[in-house]
Amino acid sequence: MSGYKQESIAGLAEFIRNSRRTLNISTAELADLARAKARAAGDNIGLSQQTISAFEQGRAKRMPGWAQYVYEALSELASDEGNRTFERGTASVDVEVLPTYAGAGGGGTGEGDVEKIAFSRALVEYELRAKPKDLLAIQIEGNSMTPDFQSGDQLLVDKRKTSLAQPGAFCLWDGDGYVVKYLEKIHDSEPPKVRVISRNEIYRTTERLAEEVQILGRVVWFARRV
């Protein structure tokens, strides 16, 4: 297929249905991806999973306006040259590990031999919408972020996500080592400042100049040993 415009309604419906099965993606997930494509193009579409399901079942009488965004989303997922790789050859991918722990308190320096650890391909590529190179695996040590994160927890940090537009848990360099803290931008501060927050209330909240805060990425996943 060279483009959705060359397809009949029935042909496109079959393409969507077969592509979803191959990629193991739901109509809800596909609708989300297509809406994101539309927003990026400056188009606001009200696409739902029910609409896609109805189209797949042959209920459409004409080619819908959202078809190009669904087609683009599926083509990107299936393409080796897309923004993400969804190969099915193996069930896991290797993610680089921060050589030393990230402290929930005092932090590790990040010095040491580079290692990698295997994570589920479905987790990395489908759930987190990332490539292995976008992520860094780290291990927590210390108690300043309990109960949310505990010593020994394994976290995945998305290095693409460094914006403080929304508060959240981030891995950052505090001058002595890598730490995991909640960060919150202090609005209307001059010069710009960031609030650095420990979840454990025995540790005090601090304020830092935004230019001093070196963010490695946002925490997007964690696992804990039982």
Partners of residue 197 on adjacent β-strands? 182
User: What pLDDT does 184 receive?
Assistant: 93
Instruction: Tokens for 116, please give them.
Output: 């990698």
User: What pLDDT does 173 receive?
Assistant: 87
Angle at 126 between CA 147 and CA 94, to 5 degrees: 75
Q: CA-to-CA distance for 188 and 150, rounded, in angstroms? A: 33
The CATH class given to the 92-223 domain equals mainly beta
User: What pLDDT does 45 receive?
Assistant: 86
Longest dimension (CA), the chain: 64
DSSP 8-state class, residue 169: E
**Whole-model pTM over 0.85:** no
CB 179 within 8 A of CB 104: yes
User: What pLDDT does 92 receive?
Assistant: 82
Indicate the fold that domain 4-78 takes in CATH: 434 Repressor (Amino-terminal Domain) (1.10.260)
User: What pLDDT does 88 receive?
Assistant: 44
Partners of residue 179 on adjacent β-strands? 103, 172
Domain definitions of the chain by residue range: 4-78, 92-223
DSSP assignment of 188-216 equals T-SS-EEEEE-SSTTSPPEEEEGGG-EEE
User: What pLDDT does 182 receive?
Assistant: 94
Alpha helices in the chain (DSSP H): 9-23, 27-40, 49-56, 67-78, 121
Residues 6+ apart with CB under 8 A from 163: none
Q: What is the pLDDT along the chain (226 residues), one digit of tens a residue?
A: 345 554 578 888 888 988 888 888 889 889 988 888 888 888 888 899 999 999 999 888 888 889 889 988 888 887 643 444 444 445 788 999 987 655 454 444 445 567 899 988 888 887 888 999 999 999 888 898 999 999 889 999 999 999 988 888 999 987 778 899 999 999 989 999 999 999 999 999 999 998 888 999 999 999 987 6
